[in-house]
Amino acid sequence: MPPKPVPLPPLDELTRRCSWDVDEALIWTDLAGTMAWANRRAQSLFGYGEAEMLGKPVMMLYSASNSPALSKEIVEATFSGGWRGDIMNVSKDGTEFPCQMTTTLIRDDKGEPVAIAGVLVDLRRIWGKSPEEDGEAAAGRMLMRLIMGAEGDGAALAIAGGLGMDVVGLFNLDGKLAGYAGDPFLKDELARRPFPQVEATLLKELGAKSALQGVGEVGSVIALSFEKKEIGEDVKGVFRAMLKILRVDRSF
């Protein structure tokens, strides 16, 4: 059982100023997960004002696409000292996006737990800076956690968020749909199609404007956009990085 919540000690001015100015999102909660403080980057990242965050459960920022097993892992590890890994978050406008999160259990002078600090790094910023290097590392961490089995839809959602694509389908070696993110009405349509697709046919029949496809030893991916007529080299770089995690032979 987690420790009982206690009032958070006040932050001194220097700590408050340093925490406010750091370039990553920092959120303090009590031991029950109620937000007690959020810096400027956290407010900007999630789209909430301070009054909208303080006193609210931190789980309002946590995407339902994360698996129950991951939620349990985070809680148990945090109360054992801390946790680090990749999760999906959700902003005020409903946008889901991947973050690397580090949690730390804060103790008082007597060694008693008093608070939890969470630092979140927006992985979309990392991918945008260096799609071939940082993008590959970020994609690798996310996909190793999400890509296979029951979490296939979570993996598809992570890829869709990272690429800024509207629809993503993941297929196993048997050609069956193993993960999907996007318009539910297109799921069956995508599932029945052989892989790879002739792009012109794929775009015409599904009404998409652009597509990315990749196939490898352990799976294949189709990503569609209904808004982008052209896909930038930065996005293609991230896509190639993701495909390497699937031990891809070639991409189209």
Tell me the CA distances in angstroms from 132 to 30, 161, 198, 243, 252, one per residue in order.
39, 17, 26, 11, 17
For residue 198, the domain's CATH number is 3.30.450.40
Give the number of other Cβ atoms within 10 Å of residue 158's Cβ: 31
Ordered per-residue pLDDT tens for the chain, 252 residues? 333 444 565 666 656 666 677 778 999 999 999 998 899 999 999 999 989 998 999 999 998 877 777 888 899 999 998 998 888 889 999 888 888 899 999 888 888 898 899 999 887 776 554 444 444 455 555 554 444 333 567 667 767 776 778 888 888 777 788 888 888 888 888 888 766 666 777 777 888 888 888 876 567 788 888 887 788 776 777 777 666 655 544 444
Q: Which helix (H) or strand (E) holds 89?
A: strand 82-90
- What per-residue confidence (pLDDT) applies to 79? 92
Q: How many domains does the chain have?
A: 2
Same domain? For 213 and 182 the reply is yes
Domain that holds residue 159: 130-251
- Could you tell me the strand order of the sheet in which 210-216 lies? 177-181, 167-171, 220-225, 210-216, 248-251
The answer to whether position 38 is within a domain reads yes
Same domain? For 104 and 40 the reply is yes
Same domain? For 171 and 119 the reply is no
The answer to whether position 7 is within a domain reads no
- What per-residue confidence (pLDDT) applies to 42? 94
Q: How far apart are CA 169 and CA 152, in angstroms?
A: 9
Tell me the CA distances in angstroms from 147 to 61, 108, 173, 186, 226, one per residue in order.
22, 39, 13, 20, 24
- What per-residue confidence (pLDDT) applies to 181? 84
Same domain? For 203 and 218 the reply is yes
Q: Do 195 and 186 meet the contact criterion of CB atoms below 8 Å apart?
A: no
Query: What are the φ and ψ backbone dihedral angles of 114, each rounded to 5 degrees?
Result: -130, -20
- What per-residue confidence (pLDDT) applies to 83? 92
Rounded to whole angstroms, the maximal C-alpha distance in the chain is: 67
The answer to whether position 43 is within a domain reads yes
The answer to whether position 109 is within a domain reads yes
The answer to whether position 247 is within a domain reads yes
- What per-residue confidence (pLDDT) applies to 4? 44
Q: How far apart are CA 16 and CA 12, in angstroms?
A: 6
Q: Do 105 and 81 meet the contact criterion of CB atoms below 8 Å apart?
A: yes
- What per-residue confidence (pLDDT) applies to 179? 81
List the alpha helices (DSSP H) in the chain: 13-21, 40-46, 50-53, 68-78, 123-129, 134-146, 152-163, 187-191, 199-206, 233-245
Q: Which of 208, 211, 210, 171 is nearest to 186 (CA)?
A: 208
Q: Kindly state the tokens that stand for 57.
A: 């459960």
